[in-house]
Amino acid sequence: MPTIISIGSGKGGVGKSVISTNIAYLLGQSGYSVTLIDMDSGGADLHILMGLFKPKYSLTDFIDKKAASLEQIAEQLSGFAGIRLIAGTGDSLHTANMPAATRAKVLRHIRLIESDIVIIDVGAGTHFNTLDFFLAADIHLCVTTGDPTAILDLYRFVKLAVIRKGLSSFLSYDDVSQLIRKTDIKDIDELLELAAQYGDEKPQAIEQSIREFNPAIIFNQVSKSSTDRFSRLQTLMRTYLRVSNLELLGEIPEDQELRLSVAKYQPVTSLSPSANAAQALRSICKQLSNQIEQQPKSSRHMT
């Protein structure tokens, strides 16, 4: 079974796609086989960033049952040995509005992918499918810029992920979705009160599920150190969401070389390895490799 890494954010345009492709390239360079999956319903663009202009297949082929497995639609990227891409649908009707049964089937097939690593770019926002694909991973990466609105949106994204994960520990998929639709849950205390209505032991189940959730944050497009911003975010998440294991995985500077690499349809780590952004991405990948190696293979779970 592959180690699954998901990349999410509250806001669009913060660098998820660029980071996904660079991490895929670097992990490929380290000898891992990697499959990238573009789950961004609104902005499927990983293929462009890797210089593939006309993917042969997309997720739509699997969702529409034209392909029997995700393996069949994973396309080897030319010039990037060991890296395959499952291109996005580019059609929000297909991914964002995926019915629960289809979502479960996609998740099941992700686990069957024959690569060491699967990287899922889940796109931005708090749609249920986005949250579910994010939560399904073994390693959760969250991207934000230093912009206060991006940080606030990331906080909201993590809050909803925590609520969804917590409730899923004892409610069915449909019940969780219904409850979240009709109840505005402000913070974890409210969530625990709500859970107690389902049984005395339910709040404990939620607290346990939160303890197992260790999202790692990447600050992107920064011009100065993000340590202070990260500390504030950490305090907020600890206080209101009880997420105590938030980690700062790294910071990537705003870098013109990265923009140029996007214009040349290549990861900056491949095109300009000495660029500041490329160096930051390599340091992030080094830490990520440690996390990958620490994954307990037997205890991996999917929602």
Ligand X SMILES: Nc1ncnc2c1ncn2[C@@H]1O[C@H](COP(=O)(O)OP(=O)(O)O)[C@@H](O)[C@H]1O
Q: Which range, of 9-17, 110-118, 166-174, 209-217, touches ligand X by CB under 6 A?
A: 9-17
H helices of the chain, in order, are 16-29, 46-49, 59-63, 70-73, 92-95, 100-111, 128-135, 148-168, 173-182, 188-196, 202-211, 227-241, 256-263, 268-271, 276-294
Rounded Cα distance between 118 and 141, Å, is 13
CB atoms within 10 A of CB 283: 14
Q: Could you tell me the smallest distance in angstroms from the CB atom of residue 172 to ligand X?
A: 32
> Is residue 41 at the binding interface for Mg ion, with CB under 5 A as the rule?
no
**Phi–psi pair at 198, nearest 5 degrees:** -95, -5
Please tell me the count of residues contacting ligand X according to CB under 6 A: 18
- Span 31-50, contacts to ligand X by CB under 6 A: 43
Binding partner at 195 among Mg ion, ligand X, none, C-beta below 5 to 8 Å by kind? none
Binding partner at 15 among ligand X, Mg ion, none, C-beta below 5 to 8 Å by kind? ligand X
3-state SS, 66-94, equals CCCCHHHHCEECCCCCCEEEECCCCCHHH
Q: Which range, of 9-17, 68-76, 174-182, 220-228, touches Mg ion by CB under 5 A?
A: 9-17
Task: Please say which residue, 28 or 250, places its beta carbon nearer to ligand X.
Answer: 250
Binding partner at 258 among ligand X, Mg ion, none, C-beta below 5 to 8 Å by kind? ligand X
Query: Which residue reads 């969702």 in tokens?
Result: 63
Task: Please say which residue, 120 or 243, places its beta carbon nearer to Mg ion.
Answer: 120
Find the binder of ligand X among 15, 28, 55, 146 (CB under 6 A): 15
Q: Which residues contact 238 (CB under 8 A, 6 or more apart)?
A: 244, 246
Q: What is the DSSP string of 233-251?
A: HHHHHHHHH-----EEEEE
> Is residue 221 at the binding interface for ligand X, with CB under 6 A as the rule?
yes
> Is residue 145 at the binding interface for Mg ion, with CB under 5 A as the rule?
no
Q: Which residues pair with 36 in a beta bridge?
A: 85, 119
Find the binder of ligand X among 249, 258, 288, 292 (CB under 6 A): 258
Task: Please say which residue, 29 or 221, places its beta carbon nearer to ligand X.
Answer: 221
- The residues binding ligand X (CB under 6 A) are 9, 12-18, 43, 220-221, 252, 254-255, 258-259, 262, 277
Give the footprint of Mg ion on this chain (CB under 5 A): 16-17, 40, 43
